[in-house]
Amino acid sequence: MKRGRELAPAEARFEMVGAAIDGVEGLEASRIEIDRDGPTYTVDTVEALRAEMPHTEVFLILGSDVAASLESWHRADALRAAVTLALVDREDAAPTTAPVGWRCVRVHMPRLDVSSTGPAPAHRGG
C-alpha cells in the first residue's frame, strides 16, 4: 500500500522497531518481510508467522483510521480469517467503526509523533 511513497530504508525501520520494543517482554522484531523476495503482503507475513507458531493468536495492530481500507488489501478474506485486529484509536482522530466481519479489540493510546511514511524525528542524544 506504500508503493511510490518515500520510506525509511528497511534496515533502519527494523532497527527502530527493535529499539521501540527493547526490554518489552514477549515482543521481538521480525525480519520476515525484509528477508522475503518481491512484494510483501500482510497476509503472507501472517501465514508465515502462523506456520511457525500454529497455536498462537495473531493480532494485527492498526490505526482505527486504516481499518476502513482493509477490504482492499491483498487476500483480505484470508487475512480476516487469520487475525484479530487491535484497532488503535488515536487522540487526534474520531474513532471509526470496526470493520464488519473482523474480530476486533480496541486499544486507546496517547498520541505519539511517529509515522511509517513521514520523516524520522530528529535524534536527541544524551
61-86 exposure pattern, b = at least 16 Cβ within 10 A, e = fewer = ebebeebeebeebeebeebbebbebe
Q: Domain locations in the chain? A: 56-112
Q: In the predicted model, what is the mean pLDDT of residues 90-111?
A: 80
The string of pLDDT tens digits covering residues 61-98 is: 998 888 889 999 999 999 999 999 999 887 766 777 88
Gap between the Cα atoms of 1 and 72, Å rounded: 10
The string of pLDDT tens digits covering residues 4-13 is: 666 789 899 9
pTM: predicted TM-score of the whole model, two decimal places:
0.75
